[in-house]
Amino acid sequence: MLKRQLASWLLIRNGEERVVLYLSLLYLALGAGMAVGRSSSDALLFKRLGVEFLPQMFFLTSFLLVGFSAVYAEFSDRLHPSRMFKYIVALTGIFLVVVWGAMQNGGSKIAFAAYFLGYGVVSEILLVHSNLYASGFLDLSQSKRISPLINAASRLGGVVGGVTLGLLSSRFPTEYMALVWALTLVEAFFLIAAYHRGEQRIRAKTKPLKKHGRPLVHIREGLEFARRSSLLQIAGLGLFVMIVLISMQDYLVSTILTRHFQNERDLAAFFGWFSAFTNFAVLLLQILTTNRLLRRFGLKLVSLIFPWSTAASFALLGLSASFLPAVIGRFNYTGMMPAFRNPSANLFYSALPGYMQGRARALSIGLILPLGLAVSGLLLMWVPKESVGESLAVFGLLLSFVYIYLKIVKNRIYAASLACLIQQQVYTGIGEELEEIGRLDERVVGELKQLLQQTEDGDNYVAYAEILLHGAPQDAGKILLETLPGKSAQVQDRLLPRIAELAPPGWQDYMRCCLDSVDTHLRATALTELAKRGDVDALRAIHGWLVHTNPRIRAVAAQACFAAQDPVLHEVAERTLRTMLSAEKPGAIIAALSVMPGLKLFSLDDAVRALLQHPDAGVRAAAIAATGAIGAVGERLILLARALRDEDVVVQRAAEKNAVTLMPITESEYAAALDTYFSFFHMQSLLTNYLAQSELAQRKTILLAIAHRHLQRAWDKKSVALHALSLAQQASARQADEAGFLRLVLNEEVLRHIDIALDILALLDEAQMARAISAALASRDRRLRAQALESLRHIENKALVEWLLPLIEAAQDGARWEHTVPDMPRDMNEMIAWCKRQGGQWLRQCAALMEEETSRATPV
Amino acid sequence: MQPLFDRILLLKRVPFFALLRTDQLRHIVPMLEPAGWASGERVFEKGDPSDRMYILLSGRVGIVLHDDPESTEYVAQLGHGDCFGEMGLLDDLPRSATVHVLETVEALSLSRVRLHGMLQAYPELGIGMLAALSGRLREANDARIKSRHLADNPK
């Protein structure tokens, strides 16, 4: 019970306990070591060598980082992260023991510098690698919950390390702290070895080592990618500015603190206790604040906390370069940075394609970080000693504003990159691109003609023809007339009306040839096109066709009559169609109905209405396709709804296809229809789709209102679905089964409400992103879904997003759900009644069937 | 509970149909035809024409790949909720196995014509079918690896 409550409080879900415990213990050990290492190396350098050498140390660190990160990058791709981790930890431990020996009995000044530089390099490599290692265990949504938790364990380690240093520094020489750090690394080594012990047997072969230049290749590839990725450009620039800022602050703060404390032991003890305090404060922040802020507001807000705290701390130092502002400044880069900046920076990498994430990290650690340190070192060496005070702080404050600006720009680009990344992974459609073709030049037209002649594939032919028709309409008719004969009847049929529109020389002869085709569709199309233009041969042929034994030919002849400008022919055609509509054979009826859309034969409306109830599904499907002009909007929508509910899917599809002709016209008609058919999902999607495509002024308002309503209903259904679980426990066996079934249907309907809301978002201004989110949510890929959730936070329409996010998190991720409804059912009877009242069409039907069952089961 | 709901839940558990919503499954339920065999009978034999697939409601069947229909070397035994006979509906080839009834069986069957119609109506069904077939392929691969391992290491 306690374990479950603790897990729930810490946002740990089922199955995550073991990995969270392992990573927490590992980070605890590493955190303790780093706290000891940082505080002791700082104290030793500042007092034994002098704080004025700090800029030189930055400069040297930059070169060492280039070298060590090159080695790191070389091996990080070849070795499993756990193995790499063990090597890093073991080598650092050996280095510390050697350096401790060199620092003994006063030691050489080089040893203190080496200890400081060693910390600078190891801390960066451990930070990068531990994050890479942990990210292998977690996806984006897990990262957002769990990474603050394991970082908090590292903070707790920092507390332990700080207290240890505070206590030991008064009893032992400060250089002994290198051994304490080494001990924590031994612990980390055994933890990693123990956790991965079982995996040794199935370990894959290591990749062969390439001869040379591999790390440089990574950095070069990272740079090349940065040229194309605006996110990486802005992130790189932001990182550079941040390093300069932090180095400046470190130098300024360290100078003030070194002046304040008289001896090395006092300084080391202060750093130790300060480290413990900082880590404890950050621990509370990470557990209670960071992950909740990330979940509530996303990266957008959290990534701005550190830039603002940096600006504030520089402002304080600018007012007074004294002890207290220095302490606050040190808290900024030792506390605020790991609490807020590092977790959010790691999440930003997820917006890069997987194959580039490693390269981007290599670019950061191998180029930007050293460059930043080198520039900072040079800059600070150039600053006169007497200016290391308020004036440096003011410069830092100004640079902080640049950093904030870069972060804001990065946030904007991040959202777009994430949507782009999802689109690369799931197909979301590319839309109509023909409009972008523009006018084609002669050479391209010639090439297209050649392609049209050569291709044997009908679809390819039509695709080339479409390009030609858009890009060179003046040449298209002639080229099509030359290349089309000999292609399949279906392809010719599709392009015949386009040729007739363009009317190139000889088109009528070609059409007359088509009248002799064995393919009825092609003959009909040719006849219609010729009759439209009053072709004498065609009109003569019509009379024979109107009495043809094939109903399809009779029907197309009737259609062609309406294309001709002759009232007598119109009358004959109408008679023919009426006779066909009352035929016994479905084939004749379907043939007549298939030519009726667009003819607007109001006199045949009653006949068509009657056919909507015909026992043959093919007739019903053809009838719904012919109902475009029947009656008022209300009646048309009733007919559409009925057809969409038809038991035969052929009729449903025909209704869907024909929906455009049955849609409302005015805003009030749309609003009324959306209200009337609120619980009919299929109708809702059609209505919202066509409303969005319309030119109606109030369409956005109506769509947003209906999206809200859907999401509210989804919230209610989600609550009732969860409640069904507890009702099932109290009910009889039959009712428990029913509760389970209703829960299943309720959850399906929640997803359908979400889909409609996302569709509406896509139909409004957020088309690309909403479609990407929708596709990612529908995928079964956890990482994609997590990225979709993150993208959703960046959608402009906050009002909808606030409703959508918790729903999707609960539906996809099993997050906690606390919403309730005022009329929450108290037993199964009330549950059934609730579903009948609030459910979609199918849920209502289920509830009604269950009610019937209950009344049958209850003895009178 | 209503038999309709029971059938829908049964279909929901069959990998073939798992991706469909309950309101889509209700249209499929009426297309299923009841079938039954007594213990010792054969549902079909290897080489028979494939015209329908089956979903087991109760009882147990054993699958034999051997050419001799009398053979009882079962490569798999199926029970409640399992389906069989779907391969032939897709590749149009004769049955690749003989199915023996081990315990009296009640089943639902779906004909090829109806399945093809359903595939057009509910494309999600195709993904479910691929998932189910891939599961079968995995099982077959595992069985092959195991038998090869046994042959190489008879002790």
pLDDT at B107: 92
Whether the predicted interface score ipTM is above 0.90: no
pLDDT at A776: 75
Q: What is the mean pLDDT of residues A286-298?
A: 72
pLDDT at B61: 94
Q: Find the closest chain A residue to B8 by CA distance.
A: A741
Does residue A456 carry a pLDDT above 80? no
Point out the residue among B1, B23, B27 whose CB comes nearest to the CB of A738: B1
Q: Find the closest chain A residue to B28 by CA distance.
A: A647
Does residue A312 carry a pLDDT above 90? yes
CA dist A589 and A608 (Å) reads 10
Q: What is the mean pLDDT of residues A798-807?
A: 81
Retrieve residue B35's tokens. 């079938």
| Nearest chain B Cα distance for residue A751, angstroms | 11
Cβ–Cβ below 8 Å for A744 and B22: yes
pLDDT at A1: 58
Set of chain B residues whose Cβ sits within 8 Å of the Cβ of A846: 5, 22
Going by pLDDT thresholds of 50, 70 and 90, the confidence category of residue A358 is low
pLDDT at A854: 78
Set of chain B residues whose Cβ sits within 8 Å of the Cβ of A847: none
Lowest mean pLDDT among A261-275, A697-711, B125-139: B125-139
| Nearest chain A Cα distance for residue B143, angstroms | 21
CB within 8 Å of A457: residues ≥ 6 apart: none
Instruction: For residue A504, give Cα distances in angstroms to A487, A516, A522.
Output: 19, 21, 19
The larger pLDDT score, comparing residue A590 to residue A363, is at A590
Set of chain A residues whose Cβ sits within 8 Å of the Cβ of B8: 741
Does residue A435 carry a pLDDT above 60? no
| Nearest chain A Cα distance for residue B95, angstroms | 30
Q: Which domains does chain A have, with CATH numbers?
A: 18-197+211-425 (1.20.1250.20), 704-857 (no CATH)
Strand (E) or helix (H) holding A638 = helix A633-644
Going by pLDDT thresholds of 50, 70 and 90, the confidence category of residue A430 is very low
Does residue A217 carry a pLDDT above 70? no
Does residue B56 carry a pLDDT above 70? yes
Cβ–Cβ below 8 Å for B9 and A741: yes
Strands B42-44 and B33-37: unpaired
Tens of pLDDT, residues A496-537? 888 888 888 888 888 888 888 878 788 888 888 887 777 877
Point out the residue among B5, B12, B121 whose CB comes nearest to the CB of A649: B121
What is the DSSP secondary-structure string of A167-179? HHTTTS-GGGHHH
Retrieve residue A40's tokens. 């002791």
Among candidate residues A345, A21, A343, A43, the one with its CA nearest the CA of residue A178: A43
Going by pLDDT thresholds of 50, 70 and 90, the confidence category of residue A401 is very high
pLDDT at B105: 93
Q: Output the domain CATH number for residue B22.
A: 2.60.120.10
Tens of pLDDT, residues A752-763? 998 888 888 877
Does residue A699 carry a pLDDT above 80? yes
How many domains, chain B?
1
CA dist A157 and A30 (Å) reads 7
Does residue A211 carry a pLDDT above 60? no
Mean pLDDT highest for which of A563-572, A679-688, B72-81?
A679-688
DSSP lists the bridge partners of residue B84 as B54
Q: Find the closest chain B residue to A733 by CA distance.
A: B1
Average pLDDT score, chain A: 81
- Percent of chain A, pLDDT > 90? 10
Q: Find the closest chain B residue to A842 by CA distance.
A: B23
Does residue A749 carry a pLDDT above 70? yes
- Between the CA atoms of A839, A841, A846 and A849, what dihedral angle is there, to the nearest 10 degrees? 120
Among candidate residues A252, A268, A248, the one with its CA nearest the CA of residue A41: A268
pLDDT at A746: 92
Point out the residue among B1, B27, B120 whose CB comes nearest to the CB of A734: B1
Q: What is the mean pLDDT of residues A36-48?
A: 87
Cβ–Cβ below 8 Å for A741 and B1: yes
DSSP lists the bridge partners of residue B138 as none
Going by pLDDT thresholds of 50, 70 and 90, the confidence category of residue A245 is very high
Going by pLDDT thresholds of 50, 70 and 90, the confidence category of residue A209 is very low
Domain that holds residue B68: 3-152
Cβ–Cβ below 8 Å for A846 and B5: yes
Point out the residue among B2, B27, B122 whose CB comes nearest to the CB of A647: B27
Cβ–Cβ below 8 Å for B27 and A649: yes
The string over A515-539, giving b where at least 16 C-beta atoms fall within 10 Å of a residue's C-beta and e elsewhere, is bebeebbbbbbbbbbbbbbebeebb
Cβ–Cβ below 8 Å for B2 and A849: yes
pLDDT at B36: 92
| Nearest chain B Cα distance for residue A738, angstroms | 6
- Percent of chain B, pLDDT > 90? 19
CA dist A720 and A816 (Å) reads 14
CB A772 within 8 A of CB A423: yes
The larger pLDDT score, comparing residue A36 to residue A811, is at A36
Among candidate residues A634, A733, A685, the one with its CA nearest the CA of residue A840: A685
Q: What is the mean pLDDT of residues A683-707?
A: 88
Cβ–Cβ below 8 Å for A850 and B26: no
What is the DSSP secondary-structure string of A249-309? HHHHHHHHHHHH-SSHHHHHHHHHHHHHHHHHHHHHHIIIIIHHHHHHH-HHHHHHHHHHH
Q: Find the closest chain A residue to B23 by CA distance.
A: A842
Does residue A212 carry a pLDDT above 50? no
The larger pLDDT score, comparing residue A141 to residue A30, is at A30
pLDDT at A811: 66
Set of chain A residues whose Cβ sits within 8 Å of the Cβ of B125: none
Q: How many CA atoms lie within 13 A of A43 on its CB side?
A: 30
Mutate to test the interface with B, among A645, A735, A744 (most CBs of B within 10 A): A744
Set of chain A residues whose Cβ sits within 8 Å of the Cβ of B134: none
